[in-house]
Structure 1
């Protein structure tokens, strides 16, 4: 028996386009691959997650029309298609079986997650029974995404006579996720003795990116096939005895996986929102240089406008490094000096600022002038503005609201500063991108004379170690251990984290690449008496 996994992108809400893509894949799987069964990801018809589109009756009517079109085209092969079904007064997350021009069965998701980026409990009624399909004389049990992370659905499908378990998924990427998935699937196989096929979505959607990496395990739990990460395609597997046999792509992890995730997410977000290119501020620092590399790889260097905006504090080396980065990536590069604009602001505000020392106010004015210029270019040229801020800066508020935080998308929003350096080194291993001078330079915002990030923050090695423990492991203050950090500085970092929630709420969306990203992953109040730090009274 031949099974084809359709590891393809299905944008949220694009029902007509998704139906066409599904119909095309069914035809190709049948005619080019000789498939008996073609398997699509979770909610392929609507994209995942459709969120509150699922509250609309007109949306569900359009889903039914799309399913009818797909069913009519499904002849000579069986298809398993993810879709929401609004029937008998309830909405369920379903895997719909289509064959001979008609719907022949459906399995319903039983375990409805409500954590991280998931909110299935808000929209769906859970299924309560296993579903078996018969295809070419073989009995196949169906599970949907979260179902495979619990033991019961797989066990009940096996008890009902399933010879193969097929799991359709929209499982978002974070670094290390592929190994987690394969480990969980291996436990299900060990418990049931039934081989397993895991079909996953690919492509970016808002704050998540799906990495594909569909795979199969034989009845011993050994890997017998794996599709490439972040690659669209139809992947054929032959089911013989207790195993599915197909190509085995290498698993991708660490900086290569994260970098691919950033590129794919940026490309799909920019194009999905109708932009042909992007604009960004190129400062001569490592964050903007890495964003420029991601943008160039996502869209092509000819679709990236990089703008340097120097003031009195901009070092000559910053001008040289920014120009070198743009040249290495083949970007259009422009310079807009903003010193005169900054001076005009100073003069206009001088009467009200009289008698007060210069401080972060003047620094923020420069950042906001730059943000204004970049937004103007975005509006006039029809380019999406990319923000260059990283997770470490957003965590502690080391970014200017309505300044360097301006943008339609922030590729590095979930990338710690120390990982920015690792990603830059990785990208340079593929070809020239981030000049060595930028990587070697001490981080600085260049908003006052001789400014260094270390004037305001602990070393990024220390800061990131605190943030990883506090944000991702939910460690309490007294549980955090970081060499070179005293209790006072730890308390200051935690307080900064809570104090800057209001900034993060106004930040551009950015893709999740860690276990706990800002946004849907971490939902904290803006106004709160909880400071997070119990170690001091200040």
Structure 2
């Protein structure tokens, strides 16, 4: 069977646009001799549609578009993800996350998702019911076992501990499926693609059955979908894999003996940069922004974000603003100007000092008798936020924030200051990883000035300020944060490795206390297994660690 894989990028809620992508893709594949055409999970409404699912008008429009798509089909099959409804039962939502198989002008078969995820960034239990039946469908010379995303992530041969009692795909194998098809919208995190390959390799090798896994690509606010659709033969060999971080289309012929694909996942540096560039580009494109603005401080974080913005929008569409104060070193300004020249971008230099001095003068009466502290430091950051928002508003720029994951974790960012913006571009990148990315960018030529990479990190909000004045070295800080955030370990477990209880306690306490800031932060592009945002729901008011 010749199977056309469309690894495409939907826009959530753009039913007409997504519908036309499906119809155009079907026509193209049909003309090129395909027997079956496949699009990803929930491609018609876009994934994740969230509370749009609760709108009856939206569901009705999705249903109408699905039938209009089916009406365009002939004897070539078409599978795509959509919403279906069944209100025969009085309990539950009555709404399903489904794979629709269309041919001969109709929706001929529907297989809904059986395993409804409710962890990390997933909240599908809020919207969808599990499938009532797990079935297979005879089509041409194959018996199709069609499943949706999570249904394939519960294979007993691969997982030592499974989330769910049932295995929908194994049920389809037992029913005689000769070809497995999984449509997916699986958010990316570094290392997940390799895990996915290993899992699907075990499944297809043990069950001696070929599999076509079709994943969407693109970014939806904070979630990044890397594509990399995979086709396995009945020996568990990966025969074809889609491109990463871009739309792709190819035809997989189950009768052809392909060379095995062995290059599954690249280095962290390449994967992270590709993911962040696509994430920023898609956020801008899907929200209507064509130009980006960055506050350039002379530090490594803003330098990295500026580089990513140039890759996403082009250097002609990126503008930076330098906002020095009396505490800004000459080196920070010179280093920024060197980066600006290397990237070929436009800039302004606007001092915050006159405004800062005036604010302090006006607050003298209120602050009388109080020593200077972090309050005055935050005022500087907030002035910069006002400047950046003004420029963004006036010229239609998308303002990118520059805080990294380490800073977001411990609260080294200022509400209504450097947290102003539309998107936290590197908010899921630890400080130590920021340095790795900068060095990777410079692997062939110096783009980020070496002075920016080698200087000691500083917010430059008071004389001779350094991050390590109040934080442990970033290598230690980031390891504590990884153990706490990604690995869900607590203080005693973490201290077994770090062997510094006071430091571990201090870091964890800082993370907990600054949850209120993160609740007000822009969305964070997710490239790890536990990013700040929708996938980590921690109470602001709590007494766990007093």
* TM > 0.5 fold call: yes
Contact 2:190 2:271 in 1 (8 A): yes
Q: Whole-Å Cα distance in 1 between the matches of residues 135 and 239 of structure 2?
A: 24
Q: Out of 88, 93, 96, which is 1:92 matched to?
A: 96
Give 1:148-163 correspondences, 5 Å limit: 148-151=152-155, 152-163=167-178
Report what 1:536 is aligned to. none
User: Is 1:400 paired with 2:399?
Assistant: no
Task: Name 2:26's counterpart in structure 1.
Answer: 26
Structure 1 stretch displaced more, 478-487 or 99-108: 478-487
Give the match's secondary structure for 1:480. helix
Looking at structure 1, the residues matched to 462 and 484 of structure 2 have their Cα atoms a distance apart, in angstroms, of 31
- 1:530, 1:377 → 2: CA distance? 42
C-alpha distance in structure 1 between counterparts of 2:480 and 2:171, whole Å: 43
Q: Which residue of 1 aligns with 2:480?
A: 466
Partner of 1:38: 37
State the match for 1:138 in structure 2: 142
Query: 1:76: how far off?
Result: 4.2
- String of CA shifts for 1:120-173, please: whole Å, max 9, x gaps: 111111014323233332111111100001132121111111111111100010
Alignment check: 8 A CA contact 1:225 1:248 kept: no
For residues 142 and 251 of structure 1, what CA distance do their matches in structure 2 show? Answer: 26
Quote the residue 1:175 is aligned against.
190
Q: Which residue of 1 aligns with 2:71?
A: 72
Pick the aligned partner of 1:218 from 230, 233, 244: 233
Q: Does 1:291 align with 2:305?
A: yes
Question: How far is the alpha carbon of 1:250 from its aligned partner?
Answer: 5.1
Q: CA deviation at 1:193?
A: 1.9
Q: TM-score scaled by structure 1?
A: 0.96
Match for 2:293 among 269, 279, 293?
Answer: 279
Q: What displacement does 1:244 show? A: 7.2
Distance 2:42 2:510 in 1: 39
CA displacement, residues 415-441 of structure 1 (integer Å, 9 cap, x when unaligned) = 111111111112223654311111111
| Corresponding residue to 1:202 among 217, 226, 231 | 217
Q: Secondary structure at the match of 2:354?
A: helix
State the aligned residue count.
530
Corresponding residue number in structure 2 for 1:358: 372
Which residue of structure 2 aligns with residue 52 of structure 1?
A: 51
Match of 1:238 in 2: 253
Look up the match of 1:120: 124
Show CA shifts across 1:7-49 (max 9, x none). Answer: 0101111111000111111111111x31111111000001111
SS in 1 for 2:218: strand
Contact (CA 8 Å) 2:242, 2:249: kept in 1 or not? no
Cα deviation for residue 475 of structure 1 reads 1.0
Q: What is the CA–CA distance in structure 1 between the aligned matches of 2:496 and 2:371, rounded to whole Å?
A: 35
Root-mean-square deviation over aligned CA pairs? 1.7
TM-score between the two structures when normalised by the length of structure 2: 0.94
Deviation at 1:233, TM superposition (A): 1.6
1:301 equivalent to 2:315? Answer yes
Once the two structures are superposed, what CA deviation does each residue of 1:188-233 show, in whole Å capped at 9, x if it has no partner? 2244221211110100001110000101122121211111211212
Contact residue 184 and residue 214 of structure 2 kept, 8 A: yes
Kept after mapping to 2: 8 A contact 1:466/1:482:
no
Q: Structure 2 matches for 1:186-197, cutoff 5 A?
A: 186-197=201-212
Match of 1:83 in 2: 82
Q: Give structure 2 stretches of 5+ with no counterpart.
A: 89-93, 156-166
Q: Please state how far the C-alpha of 1:66 moved relative to its aligned partner.
A: 1.1
Residues 499/82 of structure 1: CA separation in 2 closer, same or farther (3 Å cut): same
Unaligned runs of 5+ in 1: 534-538
CA distance in 2, matches of 1:228, 1:481: 42
